[in-house]
């Protein structure tokens, strides 16, 4: 038995032999850019660094797919793909994170509106389980229904089921041009009405966000393609008595939306588009970034003495809508709203089957899994 406090495998096989040797709790770790998310790991947990799994194994531009090891930095992958006019259509706030960390947390950004989340873009996955078993699911093609889809199960599992060593990803073409419709709307009900008016139309927008800060809001709708600016101007016609602007050089708007998803304390809310006024009301002094047509919002609380109390009050006001505290998870007793008992029992059963020894980050996940 090894007594190392950390291992750094350079291949799936090395990871498998390292894990087969270990019996203590382990914690997979990429760049640590979301290290504080989830519950605290057991003292003495062995860190499995994925930094050695650093290869872009394949990029098939013609097939719009790539095979990537878990430790590859997200930004490095996007640079690599960008040379061929392609990207992994995920744009989470990036603080130097890795692909493995992205998959483990299922983090996402504004592009989720159009392209879906991690679960929708992982087409194959390789994992190592606690007994050293190497398992693959999916493949390297976009369309495939052979076998169970473990990629989705592991996406957002926070490293509690096994170590993700490699993923196959679906890619998309980078848009030729982008343009963003910006509409300033100070009343939450009117803002929501504008969101619903937009989401009922076949805009094929790349992103549809709301930003709420300092008691006022903005609707942001981003378009991609050769006709992006014209479509943004057309979309403005759906809004009446609203100040609108079309911004062609729009990257900074979206960078701001992304970075407002991180902060001293961030609560992610699962709700419906029509819940937006309630989400804004519950936010208090927090800024709100909402994937408004998806109903998913991020409340970012400014630092201060009563931070924990403000977070707790907002979650209480949002209940029964499920919430998770991302940044600032340590401020609260349980970062996740507990699922129904039956659903939680099924999740525990999944955990018990995949990690019967309870090695992967015990006690850190939903419901104390």
Partner 1 sequence: MDGHELVERLRRVVGDRWLLLDEHELRTYESDGLLQYQQVPRLAVLPGTGEQVRACVAACAEAGVPWVARGAGSGLSGGALPVKDGVLIVLSRLNRILEVDLDNGRVCVEPGVTNAAVSTAVAPDFFYPPDPSSQIVCTIGGNVAENSGGAHCFKYGFTTNYVTGLEVVLADGTLVTIGGKELDPPGYDLLGAFVGSEGTLGVATKIWLRVVPVPEATRTLVAFFDSTRQAGEAVSAIVQAGIVPGAIEMMDATTIRAAEAMAHAGYPVGRGAALLVELDGAEAECDAQFTQVTSICAEQGSDDVRVSRDEAERALFWKTRKAAFPAMGRISPNYFVQDGVVPRTTLPDVLVRIDELAAEYGLTVANVFHAGDGNLHPLVCFDAAVEGQAARAEELAGRILDICLEAGGSITGEHGVGVDKRKHMAKMFGEGDLAAFQRLRCAFDPDGRANPGKVMPTPRLCGEVPGVYRQHPLEAAGLAERF
Q: Which of residues 317-336 bind partner 1 (CB under 8 A)?
A: 321-322, 324, 336
Least distance (Å) from partner 1 to the CB of residue 177?
11
39-68 binders of partner 1 (CB under 8 A): 60-65
Classified as helix, coil or strand, 77 is helix
One residue of 32, 264, 277, 358 binding partner 1 per CB under 8 A = 358
The residues facing 360 across adjacent strands are 26
CB of 64 or CB of 247, closer to partner 1: 64
Q: Measured in whole angstroms, how far is the alpha carbon of residue 72 from the centre of its chain?
A: 17
Q: How open is the CA angle 277-283-288, to the nearest 5 degrees?
A: 80
> How far is 283 from 315, CA to CA, in rounded Å?
9
Least gap, CB of 30 to partner 1 (angstroms): 20
- What residues have CB less than 8 Å from 185, skipping those under 6 apart? 191, 194, 216, 217, 218, 219, 242
**Which residues between 162 and 191 bind partner 1 (CB under 8 A)?**
172-176
Q: Could you say whether residue 271 binds partner 1 (CB under 8 A)?
A: yes
| 259 lines the binding site for partner 1 (CB under 8 A) | no
Shortest Å, Cβ 349 to partner 1? 4
Considering the complex, state which of residue 190 and residue 344 has its C-beta at the smaller distance from partner 1: 344
Binding mask 217-246 for partner 1 (x = CB under 8 A): --------xxx--xx--x------------
Q: What string of DSSP letters covers 315-350?
A: HHHHTTS-EEE-TTGGGSS-SBPPPPHHHHHHHHHH
Helix extents (H) in 138-187: 150-154
Q: What is the DSSP string of 251-306?
A: HHHHHHHHHTT-SSEEEEEE--GGGHHHHHHHHTTSEEEEETTTTEEEEEEPP-TT
Kindly tell me which of 31 and 45 has the beta carbon lying closer to partner 1.
45
Please tell me whether residue 308 binds partner 1 under the rule CB under 8 A. Answer: no
* Closer CB to partner 1, 73 or 92, in the complex: 92
- The single residue among 241, 249, 305, 340 that binds partner 1, judged by CB under 8 A, is 340
Place of tokens 């208090």: 284
350 sits near partner 1 (criterion: CB under 8 A): yes
Residue 136 interacts with partner 1 (CB under 8 A): yes or no: yes
Q: Are strands 216-224 and 207-213 parallel, antiparallel or unpaired?
A: antiparallel
The verdict on 116 binding partner 1 (CB under 8 A) reads yes
Which is nearer to partner 1, 5 or 343 (by Cβ)? 343
Using rule CB under 8 A, residue 119 touches partner 1:
yes
Stretch of residues binding partner 1 (CB under 8 A), selected from 28-36, 253-261, 288-296, 306-314: 288-296
From 2, 5, 216, 274, residue interacting with partner 1 (rule: CB under 8 A): 274
The 46-49 sheet, strands edge to edge: 6-7, 46-49, 26-29
Helix (H, G, I), strand (E, B) or coil at 211: strand
């Amino acid at each position: 038995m090894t007594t190392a406090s950390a291992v750094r495998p350079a291949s799936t096989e090395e990871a498998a032999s390292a894990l087969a040797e270990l019996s203590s709790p382990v914690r997979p770790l990429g760049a640590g850019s979301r290290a504080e998310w989830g519950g605290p790991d057991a003292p003495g947990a062995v860190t499995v660094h994925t930094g050695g799994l650093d290869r872009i194994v394949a990029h098939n531009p013609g097939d719009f797919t790539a095979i990537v090891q878990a430790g590859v930095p997200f930004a490095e992958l996007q640079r690599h793909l960008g040379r061929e006019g392609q990207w992994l259509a995920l744009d989470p706030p990036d603080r130097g994170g890795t692909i493995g960390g992205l998959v483990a947390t299922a983090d996402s950004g504004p592009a989720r509106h159009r392209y879906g989340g991690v679960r929708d873009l992982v087409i194959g996955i390789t994992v190592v389980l606690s007994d050293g078993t190497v398992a693959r699911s999916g493949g390297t093609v976009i369309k495939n229904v052979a076998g169970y889809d473990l990629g989705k199960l592991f996406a957002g599992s926070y490293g509690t089921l096994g170590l993700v060593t490699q993923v196959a990803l679906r890619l998309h073409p980078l848009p030729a041009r982008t343009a963003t419709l910006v509409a300033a709307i100070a009343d939450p009900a009117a803002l929501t009405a504008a969101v619903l008016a937009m989401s009922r139309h076949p805009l094929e927008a790349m992103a549809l966000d709301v930003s709420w800060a300092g008691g006022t809001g903005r609707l942001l709708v981003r378009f991609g393609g050769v006709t992006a600016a014209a479509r943004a101007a057309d979309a403005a016609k759906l809004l009446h008595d609203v100040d609108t602007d079309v911004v062609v050089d729009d990257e900074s708007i979206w960078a701001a939306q992304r970075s407002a998803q991180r902060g001293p304390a961030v609560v992610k809310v699962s709700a419906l588009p029509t819940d937006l006024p309630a989400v804004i009301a519950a936010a208090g002094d927090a800024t709100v970034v909402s994937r408004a047509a998806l109903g998913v919002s991020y409340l970012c609380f400014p630092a201060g003495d009563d931070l924990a109390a403000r977070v707790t009050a907002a979650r209480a006001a949002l209940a029964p809508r499920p919430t998770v505290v991302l940044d600032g998870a340590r401020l609260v007793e349980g970062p996740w709203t507990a699922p129904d008992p039956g659903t939680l029992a099924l999740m525990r059963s999944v955990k018990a089957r995949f990690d019967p020894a309870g090695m992967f980050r015990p006690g850190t996940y939903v419901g104390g899994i």
